[in-house]
Structure 1
Amino acid sequence: AQLRTLMSTLRQHEKDMIIQYENAVEVGKAKDAWTKTLAQIQSSAKALSDTLPHEADRAKVAEAMARMDKFKSAFLPVAKQLEAMGFDSARVAAAFMARATPDYDAAQSIIETLASDLELAASAGGKRLNATATTVMTLLGAAVVLMILLITPLTLLNMRSICGPIREAEGLADAIAQGDLTERSVDTRGKDEAAHLLQTLSAMQTSLRQIVGQVRASTDSISTASAEIATGNQDLSARTEQTASNLQQAASSMEQLTGTVKQSADSARQADRLASSAAEVAARGGQVVSQVVSTMNDINASSKKIADIIGVIDGIAFQTNILALNAAVEAARAGEQGRGFAVVAGEVRNLAQRSAEAAKEIKALIGASVDKVDSGSRLVADAGKTMQEIVGSVQRVTDIIGEITAASSEQSDGLTTVNSSVAQLDKMTQQNAALVEQSAAAAESLKDQTVRLSQAVSVFRLHDAAIAH
């Protein structure tokens, strides 16, 4: 039993190294425990071999240890690579470890076979012991008969006090040898050796009945519990495998979602750059419109100055016309002598009138131009306000896109963290699945051992009260 337990423990350390393939420290600890357990297996096997009486059984132990040596030789390189973190995943490490498993399985099979043989030998020894007890009781009966024949007078006198208890003792011992531990009505009164023998046998039967009853009850409880544990472990293993599959699908979906969010974040950053560029262009447009407004204001001021100058020219033309009229009047008064001067004054008057008319036309054109410049200035001012509103709107859009970009970055970081957590959870689920498989195997082994124990105890027959107890 100890050797079987150590073999299972060795297997557990091996699985611990595979599960902790990313942690060199834990792998080193598991390797040290594995080496210590292997030494205990070899020591236990040597002790077992020393106690075996048959050479064939000792040869089986030696063969099992030879297989374990081969398993050790194949296992140590994989363990060193595990300790150096040389595997990409637990599955790859398990595949390499599986190459050394046949030698371990062969050694375990030899040990299980040897254990079964030893159990059969023990059972046969028990049967031989029962046969010997029967023979002894038969010889004892023959001796009693012989004694009766030799000392008939004494036997006739002491028949009731000696032969009766001896027959009861014989029947009781035979019942015990056959496994019948049901309570019998035995007269144990008296102080002689026969009475003492009956008392001892009765006490032994009672003690055996209690012990076997307790063992049988415990065996039934263990059998029921082990069956429930085995069933529960199978269900848990199935659910754990389903959970692992769901986690793998979730991890794949999280990776796709992370990629989509990162792409959205990149698009948001590109939109942020475009919005910033549009804001700069709108700002420059606003500056240009402001310059146009300023230029239109300057043109408006210049137009007003030109209108003032034209007004001055119109006034000069009016005064010139009046002076020419006065000169014509004076020339008329002068008569023939002032006729030439009158002609000149008339021409001057005509020029003054044409200058006045031209000045009026220019003034009208300048007035219309001033009105149009005023209208243009108002339109440009409105355009400037509109550009300012556009710049403000673009700036708000830029701010919103910036907030979207920041939120997308935070979402991307959060999804990366969630993705890492899902991957870690998937790893832990895989480890739990391996532990559940080990627990299921242990429960099945316990169930088998319980069945064997029940079969061994079923040889004894008890009354109902002892079974209930």
Structure 2
Amino acid sequence: MKTKSNEISIAARLGTGFGIILIMMLAISLLGIVKVNTIEASLSQISDVNNIKQRYAVNLRGSVHDRAIALRDVILVSDTELSSVIGKISQLDQDYQKSVTPLNTQYTQHPAGNNPLSEDEPAALEKIKMNEARTSLLIQELISLRRSGHLQEAQQLMLGEANPAFIEWLASINQFIHLQERMSEAESVKARQLAQHFQTLMLALCVAALLTGLAVAALVTRQLQRILGAEPYQVKALADAVNRGELFHQVVLRSGDQDSIMAVLDKMSRHLQSTVTEVLNAASEVSRISADISHDNLHLAARTEAQAGSLEQTASAMQQLTATVRQNSESAHKADQLAKKASDIASRSGTIMSQAVQSMGEVNVSSHQIADIIGVIDDIAFQTNILALNAAIEAARAGVHGNGFAVVASEVRNLSQRSATAAKEISALITDSLKKIETGVQLVEHAGTSMLEVVSGVRQVTAMVGDISVASTEQQAGIEEVNQAISMMDQVTQQNAVLVERASGTAQTLTAQADDLNQIVSIFKTKPLAKQTLLRLSDTTCTPYVAQPDFA
């Protein structure tokens, strides 16, 4: 909260005003104390100094007077009574000394303090002292004459010297007493003058303090009225009305009043009235909007729940489809592996078939070579048969000596015949084998060609199965991503359903709070009811008046 830096607070104003009055009262009190102390000092001078010295002087005068009578009795009494009279004179002298001693030595000491002698007192005391000394000598001389029996000389001394001495002694004492009376009178006059002056001064100061107090009170009152802008009860009435929620009261301020408390309260009331009106409208709008939101949230919640159910079924179907695609992918992967194995086997079979064709060609070549060899063997058997025949002829020619050779020749002939027969049979078999080998070579060549075609087809099938496996893997990955997306959509839908429920609850809570806000703000009345009293502040008075029904 910001305030003007040069603005003086109410406490400071009141403190300053009452401080000035208190300072004046303090000054008056201090001045009164000083004057009273002065008057008290004068009265103390009279009562504690002058009166005491005067009382001592009166005691001296009484003692001197009584001694004068007693000294006369010394001449008049008989010898038997003389001692008592002399004793009385001694007692009176002691009484005199009791009064004259403090007067001479302690006249400046008294309870009020130290008081020096006046200008005339030392001479008066000195004169009393001189008369005392002279008269005391005459008293002693007269008593001595009376004791010695010289009564007539004593009478002459009494009449001639002692009596005038006593008279002068008493006169000096009376002079001192009169001096004390004059001094007391002077102190009394001084005290009366001080009292009169003090009375006049006190009256003047009281009038000045009263005028100052009135001026300060008027100034503070005017400042308070300027600050308040109205009477305190009027400010309180408007504040109470605002406190009751009545924001429709009209306030007519003094002319030019813009920053008083009443003006600020009026501005606050009008601003608060505008704010409360806007709050009421906003609360009503919030209540209506929150009701619409709550209604829409209920429909949204139902649709979200239905969507969540559909997504849940879709997620279940996608999970099954994902499992099927995963199984197909695994089967395709296994088929790809089998196709690769079949391709490898076909490749190896083609290689073996090529090797077999090559071997069959080599066997065909070898068969022809064997046929040639068999022809050679047949030729050898034929030649051997001829040789055996020739040997048999020669053995027959030899006769008995040629029997063994004839047997050998017969055996060789048999052997050559069998060799020729075997050669023929082998040749027939080899010929048949060559035919079969040629047929086998042709078949192997056809089988090799077919095997190469099979290997090429297996390789194509392997490539296609590989492509199917890759596609199945990609399809599986895509289906899994779709499944994850649907699962996430299902989770989001479930979360949305929860949020919708929360939003519905929040909307209901907002509706309740809007209703509470309407109830809370409803205590403020921006329009007066019919026949409701309004506060109207004029320049001088605060008079209530009855508002019209259409007053806004």
Structure with bigger gyration radius? 2
TM-score normalised by length of structure 2: 0.38
**TM-score for the superposition, normalised by structure 1:** 0.43
